[in-house]
Amino acid sequence: MEKKLLVEDHIRRNKRLTVVVCTFMALLFFCIIFAVAYIFFAGNILIGLVFALPIAIVYVAITYSFSVQTVLSAAKARPANPNVREEKLLIHRVEEMSIAAGLPMPKVYVQESEYINAFATGKKPEKSVICTTTGALRKLNQEELEGVIAHEMSHIKNHDILIATVTLGVVGAIALVAEILFWSMLWGGGGRGRRNDGNAILMILAILLVILAPIFARLTYLAISRKREYLADSSGAYLTRNPNGLAKALEKIKADHPKTKPKGSKTVAPLYISNPFKSQNISSVWSTHPPVDERIKRLRSM
């Protein structure tokens, strides 16, 4: 019962956090567009507002409604093919875990990659997607695969996926705008503002904001992301009643170093079961996931 309470609290906090993060992201995005418009139109606040407000609102709305497709295409994922035995078995394991969790069946996707990895995405538990790499299908046995799927199913059940998916969409957009701005400044854009000396400080502030925004956006997300991994590990073990499956899978992931570079965009990294772009055991503010050794240790002691 204690455990159940913990999860229910977590879900409640997650829903609240989703609203907070979405609002925060919308605000941040608004500030950035405002800053961009401000720089381009020589410090005219009104024009900045006229530009920023509708773009920010429309953009956040679009990111929200297309977030799942965005994540899937960034990962270059395709629907699992039930005619291939490996992928059929994956569909079977997902079916089983959705029954164990008492959730509707998620869509099953596959990503071509040598790496062992998996992620879940979606806006609500009733409409979610679970995706694994082909490397995971080839290198993990069914017990380990089950552990991985249970971990992803727990992210869905704990309402972790909406917040992650939406945040990633907005973070990606912020990075894009920051990049556009960077290049246009190199080309000498925004030079007309020079006759307005009094606005120089505001201008610097605007530029600073553009630089800091993506960092803040990312840190907000990372701070909440690591705690979730431990919880998803333990609720996954609760679903399968077999913490060893996931522990063994994590050990395999740790020992597995393919030669090829991981495919797909870096923005998807926090969604994965373990981050493919970083070495595994360095823990810092930038890590999306807790160190693998610590996760294995906790699973083994269950």
Partner 1 sequence: MWWIIVILLVIIVVLFLLIYVGYYNKIIRMENRIDNSWAQIDVQLRRRAELIPNLMETVKGYMKHEKEVLENVTKARSALMSAKSPQENIDADNMLTGALKSLFAVAENYPDLKANQNFLNLQDELTNTENKIAYSRQHFNDSVLSFNNTIETFPGMWFAKRMGKKTREMLQIPDAAREVPQVKF
Chain contacts with partner 1 (rule: CB under 8 A): 1, 4, 85, 88-89, 92, 95-97, 99-102, 239, 241
Report the nearest approach of partner 1 to the CB of residue 99 (Å). Answer: 5
- Please list the alpha-helical segments (H only) found in the chain: 2-40, 45-74, 85-101, 134-139, 142-157, 161-186, 200-240, 243-255, 292-300
Q: What angle do CA 262, 268, 271 make, to 5 degrees?
A: 110
First to last CA, the chain: 16
Report the nearest approach of partner 1 to the CB of residue 127 (Å). Answer: 19
Considering beta carbons, is residue 67 or 154 the nearer one to partner 1?
A: 154
Report the nearest approach of partner 1 to the CB of residue 132 (Å). Answer: 17
Considering beta carbons, is residue 89 or 185 the nearer one to partner 1?
A: 89
Which residues neighbour 102 within 8 Å (Cβ) at sequence distance 6 or greater? none
Report the nearest approach of partner 1 to the CB of residue 282 (Å). Answer: 37
What value does the CA radius of gyration of the chain take, rounded to a whole number of Å?
21
Rounded Cα distance, 14 and 157, in Å: 11
Report the nearest approach of partner 1 to the CB of residue 50 (Å). Answer: 47
Considering beta carbons, is residue 88 or 257 the nearer one to partner 1?
A: 88
Rounded Cα distance, 281 and 90, in Å: 28
| Phi, psi (deg, nearest 5) at residue 34 | -60, -45
The residues annotated with a catalytic role in the active site are 152
Rounded Cα distance, 291 and 153, in Å: 21
Considering beta carbons, is residue 149 or 166 the nearer one to partner 1?
A: 149
Considering beta carbons, is residue 129 or 239 the nearer one to partner 1?
A: 239
